Amino acid sequence: MTTDFEVRGAELKDVQGLARVHVDTWQETYRGLISDAVLDDPSLLGWRKKFWEAALTDPKYSQNTVAVASHGGTLVGIAMSGPADEDATAPRQLFLLYVYTAFHGSGIGADLLNAVIDPTAPASLWVADPNPRAQAFYRKYGFLNDGTVRIEDGVRSIRMLRTS
């Protein structure tokens, strides 16, 4: 397992890499949970590129924090947090954290999480269910299922909270 990686704040030059990691890790993670038509849509990469351009440049996202992890000069993980949803009981929310499967267990996920949310701060997140590996990862860092469930685009997610 590699320990040769860097985690840093995302920059506009990272947009293409952010989009690529986002699409690839969705395909790795959600195959069987999200329809293949969505995951294999040729326009998905372009859509994600526009998403990341906005996330890094639009003032309405100025309170978000975006981090990337690289290995050998290539992005291998991404994370973003921001102000929590209106119904959350924590002030900060993890919106996404994705790391290529080949780098699971390397410490990249933990470093990305800590780069976008203070490790001692209360926070919330939504995680697909079932997704036992991700749920175990978040439990390791103090997040617990609060019993809240939502279904969006046919995907069931549970909310996890860290109170301190």
Average pLDDT over residues 28-44: 90
Enumerate long-range contacts of 128-132, CB under 8 Å, 24 or more apart: 128/29, 128/30, 128/33, 128/155, 128/156, 128/157, 129/156, 129/157, 129/158, 130/33, 131/29, 131/33
Residue holding tokens 């119904």? 87
Assigned token pair, 14: 């990272």
Give tens-digit pLDDT for 87-131: 767 899 999 999 999 999 999 999 999 999 999 999 999 999 999
Task: Specify which residues 78 forms β-bridges with.
Answer: 68, 98
Confidence of residue 33 (pLDDT cuts 50, 70, 90): confident
The C-alpha angle 47, 79, 101, rounded to 5 degrees, equals 90
Amino acid at the residue 157? S
Please state the domain extents for the chain: 6-162
Judge contact between 47 and 86, C-beta under 8 A: no
Query: Whole-model pTM?
Result: 0.94
How far CA 56 is from CA of 15, 51, 129, 163, in Å, comes to 8, 9, 29, 28
Q: Are strands 123-128 and 92-99 parallel, antiparallel or unpaired?
A: parallel
The CATH classification of domain 6-162, taken from the options 2.60.120.10, 3.40.630.30, 3.30.465.10, 3.40.50.300? 3.40.630.30
pLDDT value of residue 1: 56
Helix%, strand%, coil% for the chain, nearest 5: 35, 35, 30
Percent with pLDDT over 90 in the chain: 86
* pLDDT, tens digit (0-9, with 9 covering 90-100), for 71-91: 999 999 999 999 998 776 789
